[in-house]
Amino acid sequence: MQPFPVPKNEKARVQLLHELELLDTDADPIFDRITLLVKDLLRADAALITLLDEERQWFKAKVGFNESETPRKASFCTHVIAAGETMVIEDATQDKRFCDNPYVLQREGIRAYAGAPITLYDEFHLGTLCVICNQPRKFSAAELRYLETFADWIAATIADRFEIDNYRAERDVLAQGPVCAVVWRIEPDVHLSYVAENAERVIGYDRDFLLRADVNYEAIVHPAEREELLARMQRLIDGEEDALEMDYRVVRELEGRKVIRWVHHFARADKDKDGKVLRVRGYLLDDSKGKQLELALKEANQNFDIALNAGEYFTWSWMLQSDELDISHRWQVYLGYVSAEQEALDWRELVHPDDLQQLQARVQDHMRGSADRFEMRFRIRHHDGHYVWVHSIGKIVEFDEQQRPLRMTGIHHDISEQVANETFLQQQAEILELVSHVQHEFMLAKDFSDVCDYALPKLMNMTHTSVGFVGELQPSSRQRNLVLAHGLRIAADAKDTDAFGKLIRQGLEVEVGGDVVKKVLLRGEPEFCHEPISELELQFKPVTLPPLKNGLILPLYFKREVVGLMILANTNQGFERRLLNLLRPMLDTLGTLMHMRRMDEERLAAITELRRLATTDELTGVANRRVFWEAMEQRFDEFRRYNAPMTVAIIDLDYFKKVNDTYGHAAGDEVLREFCCRSKEQLRDIDLLGRLGGEEFAVLLPYTNEADAILAVERIRESIAATAFQYDDKQLKVTMSAGVTELRSSDHKIDDWMARADEALYRAKEKGRNQTVTG
């Protein structure tokens, strides 16, 4: 026998055959009746419905034939599969392809054959409907039409069943997910006509309750948002809006208390060919977690403000070009000025005349670069007339393109009490200066380890100690024995100090223990140890400290809560009680900054998450529709001002629905993600890729004319078409169509620009897809 032919799409054909789950299944009454009817109509000895996988021919239905499967290489039907059209053999003994076939050579073997392909989706020939005769014969044109008609019927039945099974599976998945589907009827009145099974899990109300004739959906909506929802639904029904999207609260009484859920509501109207609204389809998403994140961010900001207040310092920001000074509200209150008075008052008028010239000189020194920052103590007039001493530190944090300073930020610290007591010990002044510097460095860099690297050696020098440690008590430490190291110095060994510094940068956690540590961390009591400290009193793991002949172990507070500890050890001069009062400002500052550091981390994490949710498409990670549209508006304004070339491309993946229908939505999602990855590889950093919805994307190419934009889009298209998309063991062939157009001076609004790109995309599809057309 000659080798059997194989169709070009063999791998995809077999893959679809296995996905349909037809092989080795039980008999089907419908298919059995079709084979019997075809056998009688064509007066054949046998009729078969065949399915061909890689190695065999298996019979889904058969009459007049005993075997359940045959080798594919001996199959007549494999030739029908390869050709994709009906095949007729009037005498197999005279056909060189089959004359040596074992089923022809056997007694009463195959003599005449007629087979029509069973074809799905116009390209996948899965098997045949065929008849076999034991004597040579001819088949009439009418008989072959019967055969082909029944083959098409079988294919349609298989496809319909597959789509129904997929629809049921999708609906089951949706019912188990976080989105509840609902449908409102319009006539005779607006009321829910369908509610998904997962309604109670998503919005807290049973579907049967929501479908009751005496229950209106808006009754469960919080009164504060109810009127807006009704108004927007009415605009949707009246055809004034294409879609509705909003957040609102759903309220439910549960055991005598109100339970509130935040719901994200998206809805669209189904319309007939004349544009009349038939029904409204909606999707309800439980967005309570997102709102909780938003509230957590608000709370984190409030806590950050509290930490600022507790730190006893005030922030300022000076716009140098416009000479506008923005000072924290608490500082204005502290000086007794209301906001209106502060805006109308020049800050120079508040500075003591004897200090103004030197202050301006210090500012100029920093602006010229001769000083790395501005720092000065000066007097400023209170609203009631007396002067307040201020220690102010600032730094330029923003420059223009010519490196001219634009903005300087810094802090004010009221030092009136300290300046009034000039006879106080010099060490206290040094501590206060250190506190101001630490606060400033933290405000600018937000790196607490840098703060400790700067402050700890100075504190050790003031106390004449050779061992120093600063640690932050971890919130997760239930036994309050785990601290995050921020500073560790052993003056006798610089090499060890540098090694510990590297570990601290990587997040060194130290387990501490012993009677002395318990008193400090659990009771919040400072400990003066004038004698050598044993391991029973103080334990450090995994850090090994040198023998401690004495030590001062102090708690770090934030609002009476112990948040960390400081250790200063090994002095030759002993520890006096006055050291506690001397170090108190630094201890309070370090405790406050520890708390601020933690609050700032939580705030930044919340901001980052909210920004990601608000600006990116969740599936693909590219810009969402809102962000893309905002970028379009910005570039549109730039074009109107500077006439800079701007081009936009709208891209649509060809036959994407077929990918979802054939391979499932997981495969479709993977295609969308991979499409975005490949596209971004072909684009510049300034180009913006956004997802407009579904499989529709857009690329904004600023400062780019239409010709150059076409080259970029063609690179994307060729990259997509050149290599099949991989999903599990499947190779998915994907192409795209694109419409490209450059912004014109005749475009009065963005919609004009986008409409041309959309029209070009439509022409690309009309021309056969997988191409780029300009508009």
The residues that are catalytic are: 695
CA–CA distance, 300 with 596 (Å, rounded to integer): 10
CA angle 193, 196, 197 (to 5 degrees): 125
Strands (E), 56-201: 56-63, 69-71, 87-89, 112-120, 124-133, 179-185, 191-195
Provide the β-strand partners of residue 702: 646
Buried b (16+ CB within 10 A) or exposed e, 743-759: beeebeeeeebbebbbe
Q: Looking at beta carbons, which pairs linking 504-507 to residues 24 or more positions away fall under 8 Å?
A: 504/449, 505/449
CA–CA distance, 729 with 15 (Å, rounded to integer): 9
Strands (E), 308-386: 314-319, 324-327, 374-381
Task: Give me the amino acid identity at 243.
Answer: A
| All residues at 6 or more sequence positions from 461 whose CB lies less than 8 Å from its CB, including other chains | none
CB 165 within 8 A of CB 172: no
Q: In 137-274, which residue ranges form alpha helices assigned H by DSSP?
A: 141-176, 199-203, 207-211, 223-237
CA angle 49, 51, 55 (to 5 degrees): 140
- Among 762, 761, 737, 754, smallest CA distance to 655 is for 737
User: Which tokens is 196 given?
Assistant: 């998904």
User: Which tokens is 217 given?
Assistant: 């959906």
Please report the DSSP string for 526-566 in residue order: -EEE-SPBPTTT-EEES--PPPBSSEEEEEEEETTEEEEEE
Helix (H, G, I), strand (E, B) or coil at 68: coil
CA–CA distance, 105 with 102 (Å, rounded to integer): 5
- Among 184, 182, 153, 181, smallest CA distance to 49 is for 153
CA–CA distance, 436 with 429 (Å, rounded to integer): 11
The DSSP secondary-structure symbol of 3 reads P
Sheet holding 696-702, edge to edge: 688-693, 696-702, 646-653, 736-742, 772-774
- Among 486, 546, 477, 487, smallest CA distance to 512 is for 477
Helix (H, G, I), strand (E, B) or coil at 723: coil
